[in-house]
Structure 1
Amino acid sequence: MTVGVLKEKMNRVQIPGLDKAIAERKGFDRESHAKGSVYGGKHNQCVILPGNVSMVAEALERRNQNWFVRTKVANNLIIQVGDSNFHLHKLPMVSKCGYLNRLVFQKGNGAGLSIQIDNLPGGAKTFELVVKFCYGWKVDLTAANIAPLYCAAHFLQMSDDLQQGNLISKTETFLSFLIFSSWKGTFQILKSCESISLWVKELQILKRCSESIAWKACTNLQAFSSGEDDTQLLKSLEDNMQKSKSEGVDNWWFENVSSLRIDHFIEVIQSIKSKGMRSDIVGSCIAHWTAKWLSQITFEPDIVKLKNTTQKLQRVTIECLIRLLPTEENSVTCNFLLLLLKVGLVMKINSDILNMLERRIAYMLEICHVTDLLVKNHGDKDSVYDVGIVTRVVEYYVSFILSSQRPKIFAVGRLVDGYLTLIARDENLNVKSFRSLAEALPVEARFCDDNLYRATDMYLKAHPSLTEEERISICRFLEYHRLSKEAREHVMKNGRVPLKITTRFVLLQQVNMTKSMTSMGSSYRRSKTQAMVRVSKSLGNGCISSRKEIKQMSKEVETMKMQLNDLQICKLKLQKQLKKCTL
């Protein structure tokens, strides 16, 4: 809808004053026009006057919860709206309100007629504006009151069938003008609609505002900005647009959209999707709104201690956000999805929605970075990051995704080991959490366990007060044959590793050395069989129990290495001589 069409529509409902509003926007003459039923003031404001007045009233006075219209004629109609009583006259009210006309006709023509109106959109505050309009006083329309007044006009059936230029037509025109022309005004309208949601949906106000925002978010800012009051806003939005362009993100409208209530936000996002906005921008906007919403909520570790209605609202909110997410790949980050999963678990949302979210995160693990897994805890005694949520997703990946023979399991192994290395220094990270994540992946998810050992060693270093039993439990997944030569040597010299693990590694090293020397024909004093017997007895009886013995065994290993090296050199010399002889 163009400004010209709006102007023509305004003229049809006898509101010639729109010319002045348009003139103000373009910098033309700002003097008041000749007599008219509407005249403009500041941008986003308008004053309306009824065309015909049935009764002249001197004033509208308020006494506590009672309103009195002062005229030369006694009041003969009382209308109760909420806690307020309006002492009025039948003639001006029924001449413009079809709803009141019908009720007065049904109740008869007696004096002191009383009518109670329930659920009037906008309540007593809006009805005060209706009364002013019916009695011929000027009514100031703004972005903050136009929607409730428009809904109230429909509720009271104030159509042009009763009187030309009635309240429905005049509020409709100004409402359309605001929705079309003003970015700021559209959000003010939506804010005023929060208490009258049913009427807003029925009269399509929410849909019209959402489509307007979506159109403007997808269009150049200069195409819709107007008015003196929007000058500062325009400058701010232009700065945001320039910054967004330099960063490669078209997000200048995020902050305004993030101020909306969840039901209005959903409607706006759906409209923006329908306009063809890129899915990653839509996903970023949802993340922005969620971050702002979560900052207003205090979570308890076990349960959210709130009233049932508040719990239900928050549960519905998080479920709606998850359903609202774009389905396109890479439209939202893994970190944001993990945050939603964490909140969803706290809120105890629908299990089907949780499973859907877990599945989506699990499929993303193969392309994630370690930083994507960092979801903070907020309790003083909790670990810095929520390790449990990552373990949950990794276990889901192993249970369901691996069955489809995904080819990038090693990428997930590197991801988990990198994450373990990053969180290992956290003093509040308990043994159970670290071990559960380390063991969540199967053995075949890693080429070798070097990175896992590095993370384990960092954890042991950051937690020196662990008991021997705890250290053994956290190192039990370290296997000799899955570590590189350098890592095995580090284990045997590492005083933080439990003695039992170090002993096993030293003995296995001896066995390997003995095998190599025996295969090369060495006359070393201990045979292969003897070495194996010693290892079995030592491990079974626990006879090796001191660091001193470990050092002695390590020296023997070094001696064996030197002998093995000598044997290899001798073997090479013999092979060279043999080749010369054959030639």
Structure 2
Amino acid sequence: MEACCCNLEVDVNGEETFMVDKSVITQYSNKFARLFGKSSGATGKLKVIFHDFPGGAEGFELMLKFCYNNGTADISPSNLFLARCAAEYMEMKEPVADVSNLLELTEKSLQEINYWTWSDVLIALKQCQNLLVLDCSVMVERCLDTIVGRLVLASEASPCPSTSSTDSSWIRFSCDSKSTESAKTSFTRLTWWFEDLLFLSPLLVAMLVKSMLARKMDHVLISRFLIYYQKAKFSTSTTNEKSKIIEMVIDMHSDMDLSCVPCKTLFGILRVTLGLNISKCSRNKLETMIGSQLDQATLDNLLVPSPYGISYLYDVNLVLRFLKAFLRRGNGPVTPIRMRKVASLIDLYTAEIAPDPCLKTSKFLALATALPDSARDSYDEIYHAIDMYLEVHAQLSQEERMKICCVLNYEKLSPQACLHLSQNKKFPSKSAVQALISQQYKLKNLLHVTPSTSSYNDSPCSSSGAAQKVKKDKTSEEVVLYAGNFDLSTDNEKLKAHLQGMQWRVMELEKFCRKMQVQMAKITKSKASGNSYTKSLPKLCS
């Protein structure tokens, strides 16, 4: 350029200063045309300072080449987004005069994106990520959609796509229909693109995953990619960057079908969040996802250390939030089977944390009472947890001990547990009495069928039913036989005498049932010898 034509000095982001011809630039840029239209009579050199020019000096230079080459430029995937952002910034949407339009030229090049190589798409996306501005978001989406489209096509065209080649003009496939490779190897070959997309920022990964979900890509594969991305990026990220990455991973998983996301994966994410300052919104999403499939968790999953500053050994509040999420929503309806699984898990957890000397009574009770009574068929594990808790917290008052024991449903305690409780000095005497009373009620129900209401002549199953009653009574009898060993107070002597009387009645009933069995055997034998047609008794009655 001749010196006399360089009448405009442009400082681009403090990186570099350009001396340009004002009249040439204003032919193509509406921004300059509008700016210098007010100072057309000005003499001498003018200076313009840009602080946020997209692409910096490189982007401005590319725009200058277009202007000084009479509206022509060599646009390729490697500089398309740079030219596009410069054109948007310089307002080159419509030519000031009858000249070419840089924005229109980039649009034509973008329309050929389907013919780009996989390598070209990645190069363009890398540049796009560096120049990510609001005006460029549409082009970012088109580039990401192209990537997703090719991944969808790859998964549909062949069950085992090969590793991509940056030199190929398309994604190559290699699949032997007679191959005997394992399912694990086949799935691994579906993840060939994971490494190629590690350069993406968390923002672009979120946009990519949303596009994948819209195109109904396999959620299991998407989840695998997110975990792979998180692990790979963490090695070189700062604490703040790690928080942003894990928040994105959580947010994307919350949009997926949770049946495709293993509970183990969610707990793995949870472990990563420990020590990171992630947003409350993301943390709530993660806890809700885990709580919705709590029935798939294990005891080891729940043993999460308490946050810094909390005296408890394990994070009890976290588990309580899981329970709240499970009861509120759940992964589908909270069926009785799922409820019992969770109850069994929580009982194990309660027993595991019971020896913690710092565990407050309120937290212990909150765990023990979080689920309805119908969720448990047996309270033996809860009794075990209370026993350990009282052992460690010996300083508790009698009132506090009784409050804890109110958690128990004595009718759902096994005879062995009731026997142990009645001799357990750590429990209040009232609990021992209640345990014995519950066993008494069980015996009353078992003795409800008396000899006068049974007729073995009418039904061959009658004697068998009585025999079954005796078998059940034997279990209850074990509790009654130990009544003499119970350390009861004087006020409970009447109960002791009553239980001993019931023991005698159980023994009498057992003798009566033995007699019925002998008589039934004789009747059956006589029928077999006197009749040509004999009907065998059901197994339960034999």
Q: TM-score, normalised by structure 2?
A: 0.62
Question: Superposed, which structure 2 residues align to 1:133-144 within 5 Å?
Answer: none
Matched, 1:111 2:47: no
Structure 1 match to 2:32: 100
State the distance in 2 between where 1:81 and 1:271 align.
35
Q: Structure 1 residues 472, 155: closer, same or farther in 2, change over 3 A?
A: same
Contact map agreement 2:220 2:261 (CA 8 A) in 1: yes
Which is further off, 126-135 or 273-282? 126-135
Structure 1 match to 2:359: 430
One-letter amino acid of the counterpart of residue 54, structure 2: P
Q: Structure 1 residues 257, 359: closer, same or farther in 2, change over 3 A?
A: same
Matched, 1:198 2:134: yes
State the distance in 2 between where 1:96 and 1:242 align.
60
One-letter amino acid of the counterpart of residue 410, structure 2: Y
Q: Secondary structure at the match of 1:389?
A: helix
Q: Structure 1 residues 580, 81: closer, same or farther in 2, change over 3 A?
A: closer
Aligned residues: 461
Contact map agreement 2:25 2:67 (CA 8 A) in 1: yes
Alpha-carbon deviation of 1:483? 1.1
Percent identity, please. 19
State the distance in 2 between where 1:578 and 1:364 align.
56
State the distance in 2 between where 1:572 and 1:166 align.
103
Matched, 1:219 2:149: no
Matched, 1:278 2:278: no
Contact map agreement 2:129 2:201 (CA 8 A) in 1: no
State the distance in 2 between where 1:387 and 1:249 align.
41
Structure 2 match to 1:182: 118
Contact map agreement 2:14 2:51 (CA 8 A) in 1: no
Matched, 1:331 2:265: no
Q: Could you tell me which runs of 5 or more consecutive residues in structure 2 were left unpaired when the two chains were aligned.
A: 155-160, 175-180, 452-479, 527-542
Alpha-carbon deviation of 1:440? 0.7
Structure 1 match to 2:473: none
State the distance in 2 between where 1:561 and 1:145 align.
95
State the distance in 2 between where 1:407 and 1:323 align.
25
One-letter amino acid of the counterpart of residue 12, structure 2: V
State the distance in 2 between where 1:170 and 1:518 align.
92
State the distance in 2 between where 1:388 and 1:224 align.
47
**CA deviation map 1:532-577 (0-9, x unaligned):** xx979758xxx9xxxxxxxxx99x9999998677555544455568
State the distance in 2 between where 1:94 and 1:362 align.
62
Structure 1 match to 2:344: 417
The counterpart of 2:200, out of the listed 260, 271, 292, is 260
The counterpart of 1:479, out of the listed 409, 417, 433, is 409
Contact map agreement 1:286 1:325 (CA 8 A) in 2: no
Contact map agreement 1:79 1:117 (CA 8 A) in 2: yes
Which is further off, 423-432 or 105-114? 423-432
Structure 1 match to 2:84: 150
**CA deviation map 1:62-86 (0-9, x unaligned):** xxxxxxxxx6547311123333543
Structure 2 match to 1:26: none
Contact map agreement 1:200 1:206 (CA 8 A) in 2: yes
Structure 1 match to 2:458: none
Q: Structure 1 residues 263, 573: closer, same or farther in 2, change over 3 A?
A: closer
Contact map agreement 2:80 2:109 (CA 8 A) in 1: no
State the distance in 2 between where 1:561 and 1:294 align.
70
Q: TM-score, normalised by structure 1?
A: 0.58
Structure 2 match to 1:408: 335
State the distance in 2 between where 1:87 and 1:114 align.
9
Matched, 1:439 2:369: yes
Matched, 1:88 2:20: yes
Alpha-carbon deviation of 1:269? 1.9
Q: Structure 1 residues 264, 245: closer, same or farther in 2, change over 3 A?
A: same
Contact map agreement 2:336 2:375 (CA 8 A) in 1: yes
Contact map agreement 2:83 2:106 (CA 8 A) in 1: no
The counterpart of 1:123, out of the listed 19, 42, 56, is 56
Which is further off, 383-392 or 213-222? 383-392
Q: Secondary structure at the match of 1:115?
A: strand
Q: Secondary structure at the match of 2:144?
A: helix
One-letter amino acid of the counterpart of residue 80, structure 1: D
Question: Superposed, which structure 2 residues align to 1:346-365 within 5 Å?
Answer: 347-349=279-281, 364-365=293-294
State the distance in 1 between where 2:25 and 2:349 align.
72
Structure 2 match to 1:504: 433
Contact map agreement 1:158 1:166 (CA 8 A) in 2: yes
Q: Secondary structure at the match of 2:352?
A: coil
State the distance in 1 between where 2:212 and 2:380 align.
48
Contact map agreement 1:82 1:118 (CA 8 A) in 2: yes
Contact map agreement 1:334 1:372 (CA 8 A) in 2: no
RMSD: 5.9
Alpha-carbon deviation of 1:389? 3.4
Alpha-carbon deviation of 1:206? 0.9
Alpha-carbon deviation of 1:152? 0.6
State the distance in 1 between where 2:194 and 2:403 align.
48
Alpha-carbon deviation of 1:374? 3.5
Structure 2 match to 1:50: none
Structure 2 match to 1:370: 298
State the distance in 2 between where 1:259 and 1:538 align.
78
Contact map agreement 2:7 2:22 (CA 8 A) in 1: yes
Q: Structure 1 residues 447, 86: closer, same or farther in 2, change over 3 A?
A: same
Structure 1 match to 2:464: none
Structure 2 match to 1:68: none
Contact map agreement 1:77 1:114 (CA 8 A) in 2: yes
